[in-house]
Chains A and B, each alone.
Chain A
Amino acid sequence: MLTLLIALPALGAFGITLLPRGRDELAKQVALGISIVVAVLTIGMALRFEPGGARFQFTESYWWIKQFGVHWAVGVDGVALVLIALSVILMPLVILASWSEADRFGGAELPKADLDKYARPKRSVKTYFALLLSLEAMMIGVFAATDVFLFYVFFEAMLIPMYFIIGSFGGPQRSYAAVKFLLYSLFGGLIMLVAVIALYSQGPGTFLFAELSKLNLDPTTAKWLFLGFFIAFAIKAPLVPFHTWLPDAAGQAPTGAAVLLVGVLDKVGTYGMLRFCLELFPSAAKWFTPVVITLAVIGIIYGAVLAIGQVDLKRLVAYTSISHFGFIALGIFAMTSQGQSGATLYMVNHGFSTAALFLIVGFLIVRRGSARIDAFGGVQKVAPVLAGTFLIAGLSGLALPGLSSFVSEFLVLVGTFTRYRVPAVIAAVGIVLAAVYILWMYQRTMNGPTAEPVKGMKDLSHRELAALAPIIAIIVALGFYPKPVLDVINPSVQHTMSRVQMKDPAPTVAEKGTRP
């Protein structure tokens, strides 16, 4: 089943490249069709997932490279399932939203003359959609892999389509951003490769996650290996000090790719921390916890402060994500079940709310031809629907109660507070800052007197609305009723908790401020 889900978009991508030149519309339709089929199949699979059943379900395992001890082993637990669901639901929406992305320029501000130059497609349209589909195959693969080697393969291979998307279809500084993105991620990945090989040499001659997570490593080795994995994931996520590639990459990427980059690809980092760092090296993870929590809290505040100061819409959203990734890392390393459940839910919610923000920002940029905040003003009067959805997406970003992010942010903070009070209190300041950057941005772009160039701006088209409406619906639905998702997540989180041998602090004891 999972193999089919991975193979389908991969074959689709291959098929699109074989289409004759000039059949751009057909390429788009094929891409959309395949992504919808994949989404439907995934939802069907998700409905058959039994939260109380075995940890990994829909498992498949075959020898792939026997000589190396590598299996083609896939399977999903609750955490992986919801992240795969996030990816496959976003995919058709992204394709829909970037229907004409490759046809025309979609980036930062340019003089009129340059606009003509960039208005031509930089590369063929079918390439863009083929790359998107191959990216989808790898996104499913990376979350589904239950073999560490296989995970690594997807982790690295995923960079290539994204690199070409940013580099070929991005904004004016696309090549710089693409190279920076690739080199950062590759560097992290290669460090992880050493750790992967070293881990294998400690184990029973297999890369299967189930076997490797049973190992009892020598503490020093475990610390080094933890570091190897963690640096790769921290670059990917990204945590502060490894974050500098994200604003460039997300700022220059075409809108659809930016959604996938921040919404899904970066989740691989936090997913990896939860799945691999914690379960493979539980004692080392505990040893490093203070460092990670510090980085996470710095990230929350630092990302938020920088977001306030941005003048470019896309970069602003990228910086808010750095702040949010701080929350996710905080929740994971708080080592409480609320914290980790909250963090996992946060990954999903952040995926959707950032997707909405990026998409709307993308629509705005295409309309105005500029990404600068001061190029807008009073959009609400000419495009009320656009402004309305923007407000909902923004409020979700600042975790307003009733919208999905609130639940997860609350869980993370509660989970952290029971164990680490001071970090939780500082992190809570991040929520206030979130209100500042979101509302201030909204105020400057949507309210006030309508700026002259904005006057003719069209409201959302049906296609754009079709791409946005499901996301908004999910944001609201998960805000009121997150239970189904939490039910799926919780057993997996319990498993992780038992692996790191941590119990939730009892509330009564927590009042005394116990720290482990």
Chain B
Amino acid sequence: MKGTALVTAAPNFSAPHIEYGQLAPMLLVFGVAVLGVLIEAFVGRDWRRAVQVPLAYLGLGGALAWTIYLGVDRASIEGRTLWDHAPNFKAAAMGSVAVDAPTYFLQGTILVFALVSLLLIAERGHDAFTPQAAAVPGSDAEQESMAAGSEHTEVFPLMMFAVGGMLLFPASNDLLTMFVALEVLSLPLYLLCGLARRRRLLSQEAAVKYFLLGAFSSAFFLYGVALLYGFAGSVRLSDIANEIGKQSGSEPLLLAGVALLSVGLLFKLGAVPFHSWKPDVYQGAPTPITALMASCTLVSAFGAILRVFYVGLENLRWDWRPMMWAVAIITMVAGAVIAITQTDVKRLLAYSSVAHAGFLLLGVIATSKAGLSATLFYLAAYGFTTIGAFAIVMMVRDSGGEAGHLSRWAGLGKRSPAIAGIFAFFLLAFAGIPLTSGFTGKFAVFQAAVEGGATPLVIVGVLSSAIAAFFYVRVIVVMFFSDPEPDAPAVVVGRTAATAVALGLAATVVLGVLPQPMLDLAGQAATQLFVR
């Protein structure tokens, strides 16, 4: 609404110049999403799934291929290595979308994670989604639709919209585009959260909570944008950055704007004290959607916060750093400490995600190339592990669906040593044990932070790692060192979900043992920092 008001009010309106080639991955994903909606309207119920699933794979795969092509292509024109050329990157679409090296990296990462999450969403073995979202939980209508075997294939277009928004979010070069992207990515997620098949009340409660809190945070974000516009006379990040150097009269406007904007961004990545939605939503949402949120949304949100703080507010870093220090410290510590008391696996992973967001913030605080490349690497490493972990959560099932309570996992190591072993490996990666990707990522971030003069933060990070290790180890103890109950849950391995686990495992090992290629990629993506 605000967006249109601004455009019509602009003087001398002329048709904008759009670089379609550079924006193609995003446009493709959005196009597939729209197509998906049309399919819902025109294709018969029996055929919908058979059309939607391949379409989603093709859309994401095509977008990924195009992203890779864009990166390689620009390099080959110049006859240089992949991201070796500074002046070539320009903000596209009249300066509102910045397609630069970090964007390629982030979009590529998001698309890969979306593809892996799609493996979980499209898994037929475990029905994660409700057959009829509109039916009251426990009602006859619900029973009927379940018996009729109906399903919501709307999940796929919704997911594509969300992914499209996630692609745009870190690429936005002005705050208004960023806000639009934020809403495009959030609204489908609110819906998807409420679609769990089991424990539907919990799921719907989670959706409502997420929606309300998300709406609040969006309002904060928008208010912050308005104040910054008042300060700089522009919502463009580079204009704000230039203005910070010059002006001296309206600092309160700037600082208040930055604070409100940060609230909106920090909410999305679940930093303390804006984390309270995370455990509820992660627990209530269908597990494939949780995996999508825990990987793609986190990457996207960090991409956006990196861009805002590296491009727009870099000159202000002496003002925002103390605040971010405080947020990073309480995020790391609170995430780790509260996780200790959790008894539900998904909630536990949610708090672990909070703690990881704290570690990632160290890379943001570093405001250096090393910090950027470390954060990019960490995101890539963490996403794979976390999708794999949620895929395993999907597989451990009893008569009531997923067996979420930790006590139900007792003795899993004896019943299904392979699955329990892989899960233990993922947990060790979360804990940052060497030879896993988690360690490499953590090391990269810590190193960048030490070089950026944030050694105290690293010490806090290390201490909270030690605390966090306690609850990861506790899960391992439950799985391996205690005896299974008589009616213990069984492990139901679906084919595509198993693929997701295998991919997560492979990435966790490779990025832990031979991280050099990925580090190079992240390093090259970071050499030019962000385009202005």
Contact with A along B423-466 (1 / 0, CB 8 A): 00000100101110001100110110011000100110011011
* Interchain nearest-CB distance for B404 vs A (Å): 22
Whether B458 pairs with A65 at a CB distance below 8 angstroms is no
Whether A66 pairs with B516 at a CB distance below 8 angstroms is yes
* A182 at the binding interface (Cβ < 8 Å): yes
Knowing A66-B516, A167-B481, A197-B458, say if A186 contacts B469 (CB, 8 Å). yes
| CB neighbors of B among A133-177 (8 A) | 152-154, 156-157, 159-160, 163-164, 167-168, 174-175
> Which residues of B are found within 8 Å of A157, using beta-carbon distances?
433-435
Chain A binding surface, main DSSP class: helix
* A123 at the binding interface (Cβ < 8 Å): yes
Whether B466 pairs with A198 at a CB distance below 8 angstroms is no
Whether B466 pairs with A183 at a CB distance below 8 angstroms is yes
> B435's closest neighbor in chain A, by CB?
A157
Whether B462 pairs with A194 at a CB distance below 8 angstroms is yes
* Interchain nearest-CB distance for B422 vs A (Å): 13
* A178 at the binding interface (Cβ < 8 Å): yes
* B528 at the binding interface (Cβ < 8 Å): no
Contact of B455 among A156, A191, A198, A200 (CB under 8 A): A198
> B464's closest neighbor in chain A, by CB?
A190
Residue in B413, B434, B447, B523 with the greatest tally of chain A CB atoms within 10 Å: B434
* A436 at the binding interface (Cβ < 8 Å): no
Whether B413 pairs with A152 at a CB distance below 8 angstroms is no
Contact of B480 among A123, A154, A160 (CB under 8 A): A123
Whether A183 pairs with B469 at a CB distance below 8 angstroms is yes
Contact with B along A415-441 (1 / 0, CB 8 A): 000000000000000000000000000
> Which residues of B are found within 8 Å of A153, using beta-carbon distances?
434-435, 439
A interface bracket (residues with beta carbon within 8 Å of B): 35 or more
* B89 at the binding interface (Cβ < 8 Å): no
* B319 at the binding interface (Cβ < 8 Å): no
**Alpha-carbon distance A178/B433, docked complex (angstroms):** 16
| 14 additional contacts (CB under 8 A) given A65-B519, A194-B458, A197-B458 | A64-B516, A66-B516, A68-B447, A124-B417, A157-B433, A160-B433, A167-B477, A178-B481, A182-B469, A186-B431, A190-B465, A191-B462, A194-B459, A198-B450
Knowing A168-B480, A190-B465, A201-B451, say if A179 contacts B473 (CB, 8 Å). yes
Whether A194 pairs with B417 at a CB distance below 8 angstroms is no
Contact of A152 among B434, B465, B477 (CB under 8 A): B434
> Which residues of A are found within 8 Å of B325, using beta-carbon distances?
none
> Which residues of A are found within 8 Å of B373, using beta-carbon distances?
67
Knowing A186-B469, A193-B446, say if A174 contacts B481 (CB, 8 Å). yes
* B482 at the binding interface (Cβ < 8 Å): yes
* A187 at the binding interface (Cβ < 8 Å): yes
* B414 at the binding interface (Cβ < 8 Å): yes
Contact with B along A198-223 (1 / 0, CB 8 A): 10110000000000000000000000
**Alpha-carbon distance A187/B465, docked complex (angstroms):** 9
* Interchain nearest-CB distance for B309 vs A (Å): 23
**Alpha-carbon distance A66/B519, docked complex (angstroms):** 9
Some 20 contacts from A to B, beta carbons below 8 A apart, are A64-B516, A65-B519, A66-B519, A67-B444, A67-B516, A67-B519, A67-B520, A123-B414, A123-B417, A154-B434, A167-B476, A167-B481, A178-B481, A179-B477, A186-B466, A187-B466, A190-B466, A197-B450, A198-B450, A201-B451
> Which residues of B are found within 8 Å of A200, using beta-carbon distances?
447
Whether A178 pairs with B447 at a CB distance below 8 angstroms is no
* Interchain nearest-CB distance for A197 vs B (Å): 5
**Alpha-carbon distance A251/B373, docked complex (angstroms):** 46
| CB neighbors of A among B483-532 (8 A) | 515-516, 519-520, 523
> A191's closest neighbor in chain B, by CB?
B462
> Which residues of B are found within 8 Å of A194, using beta-carbon distances?
446, 450, 455, 458-459, 462
Whether A197 pairs with B447 at a CB distance below 8 angstroms is yes
* B320 at the binding interface (Cβ < 8 Å): no
Contact of A65 among B459, B465, B482, B516 (CB under 8 A): B516
* B223 at the binding interface (Cβ < 8 Å): no
> Which residues of A are found within 8 Å of B477, using beta-carbon distances?
167, 175, 178-179
> Which residues of A are found within 8 Å of B459, using beta-carbon distances?
194
* B470 at the binding interface (Cβ < 8 Å): yes
Knowing A168-B480, A201-B451, say if A183 contacts B470 (CB, 8 Å). yes
> Which residues of A are found within 8 Å of B462, using beta-carbon distances?
190-191, 193-194
Nearest 7 A/B pairs, CB to CB: A153-B434, A175-B481, A67-B519, A190-B462, A187-B466, A156-B434, A167-B481
> B453's closest neighbor in chain A, by CB?
A201
> Which residues of A are found within 8 Å of B481, using beta-carbon distances?
167-168, 174-175, 178
> Which residues of B are found within 8 Å of A163, using beta-carbon distances?
473
**Alpha-carbon distance A66/B476, docked complex (angstroms):** 33
Contact with A along B241-278 (1 / 0, CB 8 A): 00000000000000000000000000000000000000
Whether B516 pairs with A175 at a CB distance below 8 angstroms is no
**Alpha-carbon distance A152/B463, docked complex (angstroms):** 17
> Which residues of A are found within 8 Å of B520, using beta-carbon distances?
66-67
| CB neighbors of A among B404-418 (8 A) | 413-414, 417
> Which residues of B are found within 8 Å of A201, using beta-carbon distances?
447, 450-451
* Interchain nearest-CB distance for B436 vs A (Å): 9
> Which residues of B are found within 8 Å of A174, using beta-carbon distances?
481
| CB neighbors of B among A87-126 (8 A) | 123-124
**Alpha-carbon distance A187/B464, docked complex (angstroms):** 10
> A186's closest neighbor in chain B, by CB?
B469
**Alpha-carbon distance A470/B451, docked complex (angstroms):** 51
| CB neighbors of B among A29-81 (8 A) | 63-68
* Interchain nearest-CB distance for B426 vs A (Å): 13
> Which residues of A are found within 8 Å of B450, using beta-carbon distances?
194, 197-198, 201
**Alpha-carbon distance A358/B450, docked complex (angstroms):** 44
Contact of B428 among A64, A124, A160 (CB under 8 A): A160
**Alpha-carbon distance A127/B413, docked complex (angstroms):** 12
Whether B413 pairs with A123 at a CB distance below 8 angstroms is yes
**Alpha-carbon distance A127/B482, docked complex (angstroms):** 17
> B428's closest neighbor in chain A, by CB?
A160
**Alpha-carbon distance A164/B373, docked complex (angstroms):** 34
